[in-house]
Amino acid sequence: MRDSVDLLITGGTIVDGTGAPGRPGSVVVDGDRLRLLTSGDELPAHARDTVDAGGKVVAPGFIDLHSHGGLQILAEPRHEPKVRQGVTSEIVGVDGNGFAPFASRAELEAFVELDSGLDGRPAIDYDWLSVADYLRRLDGTVSVNVGTLVGNSQLRIGAMGWDDAPAGARALDRMAGLLREAMGDGAVGLSSGLDYPPGSYASTDELVALTRVAGEHGGIYHSHVRYPLGDRFLDPFREAIEIGRRAGAPSHITHFYHRRTYPGGPEQLLALVDDARATGLDVTFDSYPSEWASTRLLIQLPTWIQAGGVAPLKQRLADSAARHRIRTELATRGAAYASTEGWADVRLGGFRRPDLLRWEARTVADVMRETGQDAVDVICDLLLAEDLGVSQVTTGPWLPTMRPFIAHPVGLVGTDATFVGDKPAPRTYGSFPRILGQFVRDERLLSLEEAVRKMTGGAAARLGLRQRGILRDGAFADVVVFDPATVRSNATYDEPRRFPDGIEHVIVNGVPVISGGRHTGATPGRGIRLGAD
């Protein structure tokens, strides 16, 4: 034992991320690593900093398996919405919408514009092309660790452009080569966003071939499923599981939840996972504990309008014949889409033009009423005026059926955090504290140790991270200290940017980032690299 260490956390209950019962002990932080001391061990003679965790829980830093913060964190490196809820590592490049690899800066910037209603378009220098360069950009410049998936949209763009076309043998070989290089750079797997072009144009066979490559390199298949597929209920998730089965690789269903409009119950969805695992398949999922969803407004329009990329998309948005075709297709969704009724819960955000700021945090229905336009003209006009960078917040998971997903043994946590607009979905600021406060303490839906395992060790195991997610000797010193009696989310639909209570200390790679509930200004985060973390 060294006489002097960097940080000593004493007096708390250690919940180590394995699911084991909490126990008294101390945590020693030396450099970027940690050691555990039991009640009989001698404490170091001197520590540069100390934390009295009496009455508190000391746990591994939380790992967010689904975040849209991959650009935003470069613009706002303190990343307070996440780190102040205990997140020390997060995964970006989700939904098939990654930020590398790209062949040119022009290609990267075009994709950022297409996706700007979801992941934002902050005023930063887009000075990377490869996964390796993107991860290096994060090292020591941000407050949390960031790992990236490779979006299948990026692979399609790099191999065959932006068109809605099947991938031939040459294109598929090119995509596989790009993915191998990205996995070698440290990416944690392949993501698909089968509602988001051009990745949504991929066939099942194409995704199987790419998932096989990711699996060969230790990565996972992380799927935003193809929601319009088949019965629009079970079939989308069956496809995700089938891709993993055929590829012989782990399959992870992201933002898995039950919608109130589904024709069946949550038990049918969860049975898909249970049945697959019973046959030996490696299938997991993540969920977020919020009734509100968020994505880019562009998702309201049929995917054909995006074929060819940004320039053709904008031409179609402005074209009266294309708008007529959109109206015809929207009519098949029901009469509500022709009136304000169907748009009353689609809240808008992300406006930059001064003449449009009046619509910030207003609904599509509000714009329809005040302008006299129908929904198609409203959406197309706003997207054109803001260069596609408009977000939406809408109803999402149904609260009465949320609990089985949160409690399920293989369920993990992904916030699906979005950062665009004045009023993003409240999950961005409050997911982890809501689980600990409402579902663990108040409702006793699951034990504290099991909830922490889902947020830490379980997530690290899913990603193949060997040195994060568990408090054990020699692990990276990612640690959160929280008060189990007071931890709670304060984020609401009307006030989504409220920080939680009860998250008192957050240490990232051995450096205090949150101390006494306040951000220290430190940016010790790193790019997570599969095989090195």
3-class SS at 420?
Answer: coil
pTM summary value:
0.97
Judge whether 192 and 203 are in contact, CB under 8 Å: no
C-alpha neighbours within 13 Å on the C-beta side of residue 29: 26
Rounded Cα gap, residues 244 and 197, in angstroms: 21
**DSSP letter for each residue of 449-490:** HHHHHHHTHHHHHHHT-SSSSS--TTSB--EEEE-TTT-B--
Judge whether 258 and 266 are in contact, CB under 8 Å: yes
Rounded Cα gap, residues 361 and 244, in angstroms: 39
Q: 68-101: string of b/e by CB count within 10 Å (b at 16+)?
A: bbbbbbbeebbbbbbbbbbbbbbbbbbbbbbbbb
Q: Which residues of the chain are in CATH 3.20.20.140 domains?
A: 62-295+396-466
| Alpha helix positions (H), 91-221 | 105-114, 116-119, 131-138, 152-160, 169-184, 204-216
Judge whether 4 and 47 are in contact, CB under 8 Å: yes
**Number of residues that this document lists for the chain:** 533
Rounded Cα gap, residues 351 and 420, in angstroms: 9
Query: What was the pLDDT predicted at 336?
Result: 66
Judge whether 107 and 163 are in contact, CB under 8 Å: no
The radius of gyration of the chain's CA atoms, rounded to the nearest angstrom, is: 23
Q: What fold, for 62-295+396-466?
A: TIM Barrel (3.20.20)
Residue written as tokens 């200390």?
Answer: 505
Interacting residues of 119 by C-beta distance below 8 A, sequence separation 6+: 68, 70, 71, 72, 97, 99, 112, 418, 420
Per-position pLDDT tens, the chain of length 533:
567 899 999 999 999 999 999 999 999 999 999 999 987 788 887 989 999 999 999 999 999 999 999 999 999 999 999 999 999 999 999 999 999 999 999 999 999 999 999 999 999 999 999 999 999 999 999 999 999 999 999 999 999 999 999 999 999 999 999 999 999 999 999 999 999 999 999 999 999 999 999 999 999 999 999 999 999 999 999 999 999 999 999 999 999 999 999 999 999 999 999 999 999 999 999 999 999 999 999 999 999 999 999 999 999 999 999 999 999 998 887 756 777 888 999 999 999 999 999 999 999 999 999 999 999 999 999 999 999 999 999 999 999 999 999 999 999 999 999 999 999 999 999 999 999 999 999 999 999 999 999 999 999 999 999 999 999 999 999 999 999 999 999 999 999 999 999 999 999 999 999 999 999 999 999 999 999 99
Judge whether 57 and 484 are in contact, CB under 8 Å: yes
